[in-house]
Amino acid sequence: MPSIRTWLAGFALAGLAVVTSWSSAEAQPAAASGQQVFETRCKACHEPAVERAPGRDQLAQRPSGDIVRALTSGIMVPMAQGLTPDQIQAVATYLTSAEPPRTVGRANGEEMPQVAIKTGPIGTDPKCASNPPIRATPGDWASTGIDDRASRFQRSPGLTAADIPRLKVKWAFSMTGGGQPTVVGDWLFVTNRSGKFYALDAKTGCVHWSVDDLVARTTPIVIKSPISPSGWAAFVGQSDRVVRAFDAQTGKELWRSERLEAHPVSVLTGSPVVADDRLIVPISSIEEAAAMSKAYACCTFRGSVAALDLKTGKLLWKTSMISEPSRVIREKEGGLKVQGPAGAAVWSAPSIDRKRGLVYAVTGDSYTDVDTIGADAVVALDLKTGAIRWRRQVTEKDNFVMGCGPASQSGNCPTPMGPDYDFGATPILMTLKGGKQVLVAGQKSGIAYGLNPDTGALLWKTTVGAGSALGGVEWGIGADDARVYVPVSDLGRLFSEGHPGALPGRPGLNALDPATGAIAWSTPAPNAPCVYASDKGKPSRCARSQSAAPAIIPGFVFEGALDGWFRAYDARTGKIVWEHSTTAQTYDTVNGVKGQPGGGIDGMGPTVANGMVYITSGNNGAARVGSNGVNVLLAYSVDGK
Return the H-helix or E-strand segment holding 95: helix 85-96
Q: Which residues pair with 560 in a beta bridge?
A: 566
Give the other-Cβ count within 10 Å of 556's Cβ.
22
Residue 170 — very low, low, confident or very high, per pLDDT cuts 50/70/90? very high
Q: What angle do CA 568, 573, 578 make, to 5 degrees?
A: 20
In this prediction, residue 117 carries a pLDDT of 37
Give me the half-sphere count of Cα atoms (radius 13 Å) on the Cβ side of residue 377.
Answer: 25
Whether pLDDT at 573 is above 90: yes
Using DSSP's 3-state secondary structure scheme, residue 297 falls into coil
Confidence label for 492 from pLDDT (cuts 50, 70 and 90): confident
Note the pLDDT of residue 120. 40
Q: What pLDDT shows up at residue 45?
A: 61
Contacts by residues 89-93 (CB-CB < 8 Å, ≥ 24 positions apart): 89/34, 89/64, 90/32, 90/33, 90/34, 90/37, 91/16, 91/34, 91/37, 91/38, 91/41, 91/42, 91/67, 92/14, 92/34, 92/64, 92/65, 92/67, 92/68, 93/34, 93/64
pLDDT band, very low/low/confident/very high, at 223 (cuts 50, 70, 90): very high
User: For the residues 133-144, what does the mean pLDDT come to?
Assistant: 97
Which pLDDT score, from 0 to 100, does residue 87 have? 84
Helices (H), 379-514: 491-495
- Residue 137 CB coordination number (10 Å): 13
Q: What's the total number of domains in the chain?
A: 1
Q: How far apart are alpha carbons 428 and 351 in whole angstroms?
A: 7
Average pLDDT over all residues of the chain: 87
Asked, as a colleague might, if the bond just before 554 is cis with ω within 30 of 0, I would say no
CB under 8 Å to 546, separation ≥6 — which residues?
487, 488, 489, 507, 508, 509, 525, 559, 560, 561, 562
- Which residues have a Cβ under 8 Å from the Cβ of 482 and sit 6 or more positions away? none
For 16-30, 59-73, 327-341, 402-416, which range has the lowest pLDDT when averaged over its residues? 16-30
Task: Name every residue whose Cβ is closer than 8 Å to that of residue 299 and which is 6 or more positions away in sequence.
Answer: 287, 291, 338, 339, 340, 342, 343, 367, 368, 401, 412
E strands along 370-500, which residues? 377-382, 388-393, 428-431, 437-442, 447-451, 458-463, 478-479, 484-488
Q: In what order do the strands lie in the sheet with 447-451?
A: 428-431, 437-442, 447-451, 458-463
Higher pLDDT, 155 or 195: 155
SS3 256: strand
The answer to whether the Cα torsion of 520, 526, 531, 537 is positive or negative is positive
Residues across the chain: 641
Give 95 or 607, the one with higher predicted confidence: 607
pLDDT in tens, 504-526: 899 999 999 999 999 999 999 99
Geometric angle at alpha carbon 459, from 455 and 462, rounded to 5°: 135
Each residue of 274-285: b (16+ CB within 10 Å) or e? bbeebbbbbbbb
Round to whole Å and give the CA distance between 241 and 198: 19
Query: Residues 267-312: pLDDT tens digits?
Result: 999 999 999 999 999 999 999 988 988 889 999 999 999 999 999 9
CA dist 313 and 303 (Å) reads 20
SS3 92: helix
Is the pLDDT score of 74 beyond 60?
no
φ/ψ bin of 564: left (φ > 0), alpha (ψ from -120 to 50), beta (otherwise) = left
First CA to last CA distance, the chain: 40
CA dist., res. 448 & res. 415, Å (int): 27
Given a cut of 80, whether residue 7 has pLDDT beyond it is no
pLDDT bin (cut points 50, 70, 90) of residue 59 is low
Provide the CATH number for the domain around residue 212: 2.140.10.10
Give Cα separations from 410 to 44, 279, 286, 334, 398 (angstroms): 13, 38, 16, 12, 19
Helix (H), strand (E) at residue 524: strand 519-524
> Which residue(s) pair with 361 in the sheet?
379
pLDDT-based confidence at residue 14 (cuts at 50, 70, 90): very low
In 3D, which of 624, 637, 631 has the Cα closest to residue 56? 624
Between 485 and 498, residue with greater pLDDT = 485
Amino acid at position 318, single letter? K
Per DSSP bridges, beta strands 351-353 and 447-451 are unpaired
Tell me how far apart the alpha carbons of residues 118 and 101 are, in angstroms, rounded to a whole number. 7
Is 70 exceeded by the pLDDT of residue 375? yes
Given this model, what pLDDT does residue 2 score?
46
Query: pLDDT tier at 39 (50, 70, 90 boundaries)?
Result: confident
H or E segment and range at residue 58: helix 56-60
Per-residue pLDDT averaged across 618-623, rounded?
A: 67
Beta-carbon count within 10 A of 323 CB? 14
pLDDT at 78: 53
Best-predicted range by mean pLDDT among 58-67, 477-486, 629-638?
477-486
Note the pTM of the prediction, 2 decimals.
Answer: 0.89
If pLDDT is split at 50, 70 and 90, which confidence band does 27 have?
very low
Percent of the chain with pLDDT over 90: 68
Query: Which pLDDT band holds residue 81 (cuts at 50, 70, 90)?
Result: low
- Beta bridge pairs of residue 362: 378
Is 118 in contact with 618 (CB distance < 8 Å)?
A: no
Q: pLDDT at position 79, please?
A: 64
The Cα 68–Cα 59 span in angstroms is: 12
- 195 pLDDT above the threshold of 60: yes
| Alpha-carbon gap, residue 229 to 512, rounded angstroms | 44
pLDDT confidence of residue 428: 98
List CB contacts of 261: < 8 A, sequence separation 6 or more.
241, 283, 285, 304
Q: When comparing pLDDT for 308 and 622, which is higher?
A: 308
- How confident is the model at residue 13, as a pLDDT? 33
Q: What is the model's pLDDT at position 10? A: 37
User: Looking at the predicted structure, is the pLDDT value of residue 344 above 60?
Assistant: yes
pLDDT single digits (tens) 391-423: 999 999 999 999 898 888 899 999 999 999 999
Name every residue whose Cβ is closer than 8 Å to that of residue 632 and which is 6 or more positions away in sequence: 172, 173, 174, 175, 178, 582, 587, 589, 596, 597, 598, 616, 617, 618
Query: What pLDDT was estimated at residue 394?
Result: 98
The whole domain housing 482 covers 2-638
Percent of the chain with pLDDT over 70: 84
The whole-number pLDDT of residue 44 equals: 58
Sign (positive or negative) of CA dihedral 587, 588, 590, 593: positive
Q: How far apart are CA 267 and CA 488, in angstroms?
A: 25
Would you state the pLDDT for residue 72? 67
338-357 mean pLDDT: 97
